Chains A and B, each alone.
Chain A
Amino acid sequence: MLSLQGTVQKSEMGAGTWALVASTGETYEIHRGAPQELLQNGLKVQVEGTVRQDVMTMAMIGPVLEVKRFEVIS
């Protein structure tokens, strides 16, 4: 399980793609099916999840992060 802090951003790569830009700089692609409350541009969150090594996407913006839990910071 991965725990990281970051900002949710709407991605320019393909319709309906959302990114989590971690405070350390890496960009993760938020796996489809994440709760709507998470998918808000600019939302700062603390997230727990796993990187899906078995999933590939058309957006290709970074590792695919399946969010298990999240907490809004601001």
Chain B
Amino acid sequence: MKRLLLAALLGIGLLLALANAPNLGAQGTYDSIALDFQETLTDAQIQQQVEAIAQRYHVTPQLNSAFSAADHLYVVSGNARLLKLLRHSDLRQSTESIDPNYIYQAFEIPNDPDYSKQWNLRAINMEAAWHQTKGSGVTVAIIDTGVTVVPDLKDTSFVPGYDFVNDSTDASDDNGHGTHIAGTIAQSTNNNFGVAGIAYEASLMPLKVLSQSGGGTVTDIAEAIRFAADHGAGVINISLGGGGDAAVMQEAIAYAHDKGVVIVAAAGNGNSNAAAFPSRYPNVIAVAALDASGVRAPYSNFGAGVDIAAPGGVIDGENAAGGILQHTIDDETGEPVFRAFQGTSMAAPHVAAVAALIESVGIKDPDTVTAILQQSARPVPDDALNHYGAGQLDADAAVKLAQQDHLDVKDFLRWLRDSGYLNLRFWVDGGAVALLPKLGMVLGSYLLAWLLRRYVPVLSLSLGAGLIAGSSGLFPLRGFYIFDLPQFPFRVLGSSIPELGGAIGGSAALNPLFASVLIPFMLVALLLGHPQWKWVAIGSCLGVAVCLAVSAIGSPQVLWLGSGAIARSYLLVNALLCFGLAKLGAQAS
């Protein structure tokens, strides 16, 4: 039994190591192989070798350039298979090296003069992503205040839209909000004018549902969603929100999703703990906003329903440099103007445009597009309040993942979501808990109990309750949200005793008062006389010991003590004290 437990712990350690190991297979691409013949060979000898290769592998090595003769550097077209064959042949003796001739890629830097002010595009890794796709062949519908074709949208392609406010086929903008969003998605780029857009070869479909004052009705918005789905949109951007649950809206979203449309919406700007309607609906990607340093913008909604985070910008008084800059119209004069805006309204089109990039490389299923966006996002560690969803949007990683042959879409997560994982009453943040350390804590505490099996009833319920409370808490509850209610009760229930200090505020750092021998000591002192409860107290000592030891090794972050040697020693000393206390308590009874 002891061996079995040790083997289980070893297994967890191995899994942890594997999960954290860098992807060793990730290398550059090549379609030719470089052969560097030894300097000492004569031209005749080299010619002999070249002819041998030509005969044997049906490829002809050629000098790399006019300057390669002296260095004896040849290239031959071929793949990994040929590389392996050559490396294992007797050619090895007459060469200095046989290596893949890796292709170096230049980044795409647009020539738009104000591109340098678009920190947001570099933040999502656009220059590398543009090298692979610019979104051609995909239509993005913009459900907003309409779109006016300002000069920096002149080279952008449009498909017919509709104005649901004034019932007209001319969906021009009279506010500036929709045109700004159109710019983020597909501003005319590499036109030596103004600024750049993300998927600038995609087509835009302007759908006006908000009046000049920036408000609109649920019925118009629902109709616009159906219009987009019926007229060939691959992606819909909805940078608006509010109101409540409405059947027409829910049905329109389900209709568009069934037709294969990716729906992206802004999470809302109320700095509140739940995404607004319609972004919180299932099958809508809710986007929170980041500032220029990649931190959640202070206005951005967070928590229940937030799926991913993207640049939304923060404008500090007169200083607009931290905002998102695009070409739009002035809301009073209607004249074209370059202007920086802030909001989750600006964050959503970043995600919608990257969704268009993913679709343009051939992924059409909306669930797969969503999975790619989330899996390729840069995760933000210690995101206890779900400020960032799956993480920060990364266009390059998303497009690269979309181009892989075998997509590892999390079918399990999809199944969970479709059967209640995500609905309008509650929501689960799948990334809230680092599962392996928690399982290690639970198993580790049982291992400690096993070591003391002479004194403690290993399989008793009360000891088990103490072990769980001390080591991990009911940790699956940590990511559980009920919409529009505070989440901290679940965080408290989902925390172990050492984690309780940071549970209400959602801090990842351990509070040294809670992460110590103090609470186990009080429990033992109070409960040692009771025949059943004493095992809860002793179990909690063992659980806390393991929790502190695992934290000391894995993430020794302690309030006031930092995360270095002091915090580590503090946690380890307290872990030992807890173990000693448990042993004394168990022996005494």
Which A residues have a C-beta under 8 Å from some C-beta of B? Answer: 12-17, 27, 29, 31-32, 52-64
A17 vs B211: C-alpha distance in the bound complex, in angstroms?
13
Which residues does chain A contribute within 8 Å of B239, judged by CB atoms?
58
Shortest C-beta distance, B77 to chain A (Å), equals: 54
Q: A27, B270: Cβ atoms under 8 Å?
A: yes
A30 vs B345: C-alpha distance in the bound complex, in angstroms?
19
| Chain A CB within 8 A of B216 CB | yes
| Chain A CB within 8 A of B241 CB | yes
| Chain A CB within 8 A of B94 CB | no
| Chain A CB within 8 A of B520 CB | no
| Chain A CB within 8 A of B362 CB | no
Q: B243, A16: Cβ atoms under 8 Å?
A: no
- Please, which residue of chain A has its CB at the minimum distance from the CB of B143? A56
Name B215's contact: one of A15, A27, A32, A62 (CB within 8 Å).
A32
Which residues does chain A contribute within 8 Å of B270, judged by CB atoms?
27, 60-62
A31 vs B215: C-alpha distance in the bound complex, in angstroms?
8
Which residues does chain A contribute within 8 Å of B211, judged by CB atoms?
32
- Please, which residue of chain A has its CB at the minimum distance from the CB of B242? A56
Shortest C-beta distance, A45 to chain B (Å), equals: 20
Which B residues have a C-beta under 8 Å from some C-beta of A? Answer: 144-145, 175-177, 210-211, 213-219, 221, 239-244, 246, 266, 268-272, 276-278, 299, 301, 315, 331, 341-345
Q: A52, B299: Cβ atoms under 8 Å?
A: no
Which residues does chain A contribute within 8 Å of B175, judged by CB atoms?
15, 58
Q: Do A13 and B242 form a contact, CB below 8 Å, given A27-B270, A54-B218, A58-B210?
A: no
Name A58's contact: one of B145, B271, B301 (CB within 8 Å).
B145
Report whether over half of chain B's contact residues are helix, strand or loop; otherwise say mixed: loop
Q: A52, B214: Cβ atoms under 8 Å?
A: no
Q: B331, A16: Cβ atoms under 8 Å?
A: yes
A12 vs B270: C-alpha distance in the bound complex, in angstroms?
11
Q: Do A55 and B213 form a contact, CB below 8 Å, given A12-B315, A60-B343?
A: no
- Please, which residue of chain B has its CB at the minimum distance from the CB of A53? B244
Q: Do A60 and B266 form a contact, CB below 8 Å, given A13-B299, A13-B343, A54-B246?
A: yes
Shortest C-beta distance, B208 to chain A (Å), equals: 12
- Please, which residue of chain B has its CB at the minimum distance from the CB of A27? B270
Name B242's contact: one of A12, A14, A57 (CB within 8 Å).
A57
Q: A16, B218: Cβ atoms under 8 Å?
A: no
Which residues does chain B contribute within 8 Å of A60, judged by CB atoms?
240-242, 266, 268-270, 276, 301, 343-345
23 pairs from A and B in contact (CB 8 Å cutoff): A12-B315, A13-B342, A13-B343, A14-B214, A15-B175, A29-B242, A32-B214, A32-B215, A54-B243, A54-B246, A55-B218, A55-B242, A56-B241, A56-B242, A56-B243, A57-B215, A58-B144, A58-B345, A59-B214, A60-B276, A60-B344, A61-B270, A64-B243
Q: A55, B216: Cβ atoms under 8 Å?
A: yes
A9 vs B307: C-alpha distance in the bound complex, in angstroms?
30
- Please, which residue of chain A has its CB at the minimum distance from the CB of B238? A56
A5 vs B240: C-alpha distance in the bound complex, in angstroms?
27
Q: Among the interface residues B144, B211, B270, which one has the most CB atoms of the partner chain A within 10 A?
A: B270
Q: B269, A59: Cβ atoms under 8 Å?
A: yes
Name A62's contact: one of B210, B240, B272, B277 (CB within 8 Å).
B272
A27 vs B276: C-alpha distance in the bound complex, in angstroms?
13
A62 vs B221: C-alpha distance in the bound complex, in angstroms?
18
Which residues does chain A contribute within 8 Å of B213, judged by CB atoms?
16, 32
Q: A52-B243, A55-B218, A56-B218 are in contact. List 12 more A-B contacts (CB 8 A).
A: A12-B315, A15-B176, A15-B214, A32-B213, A54-B218, A55-B216, A56-B215, A56-B221, A57-B241, A60-B242, A61-B268, A62-B270
